[in-house]
Amino acid sequence: MIRHIVFLKIRFNDDYFYLEDMLIEVRIQLNFLFDIIPGIGRFEIREVIPFYSTSPELVLICDFADMDSLIHFMNHPAHLAFIKWNKNNHVKMSTVDYRTSVEEFKPGQEISSSSDFLMN
């Protein structure tokens, strides 16, 4: 299984209501992806506890059965449209993908994350 995590830092100018409106709109747009793109297992959107001013406001956690399912999601027109829409609304968007089980790591496979390295 592949876990896909996205951290979203919303661009705003100290306007609380704008931030709240954007959080709602981003959630709506993300839920739309879940509704129309096949192959997404777990799909979770959470608000982040803001310990630092640089902390993101939202985190998206998705599980996919395999790398092909994740690639299908990443290249789906609805996902690409979300990225385009999202580009002007966020200062920062970071992602991380990793395997959640040892069985999926094959000897000789390129290490692409620290979790792969720890499983070897």
At 2, which amino acid appears? I
- pLDDT attached to residue 110: 54
pLDDT tens per residue, range 90-116: 767 889 999 987 555 555 555 454 443
- pLDDT attached to residue 111: 47
User: Could you please report the per-residue DSSP string of 52-86?
Assistant: STTS-SEEEEEEESSHHHHHHHHHSHHHHHHHHHH
Q: Which two tokens stand for residue 24?
A: 């709602």
Question: What percentage of the chain has pLDDT greater than the value 70?
Answer: 78
Pairing of strands 40-47, 2-10: unpaired
- pLDDT attached to residue 3: 95
Which CATH number fits the domain that encloses residue 89?
A: 3.30.70.100
- pLDDT attached to residue 22: 85
List the domain range (segments joined by +) for residue 34. 2-119
What is the number of structural domains in the chain?
A: 1
Identify which of 1, 3, 118 has the alpha carbon closest to the alpha carbon of residue 60.
3
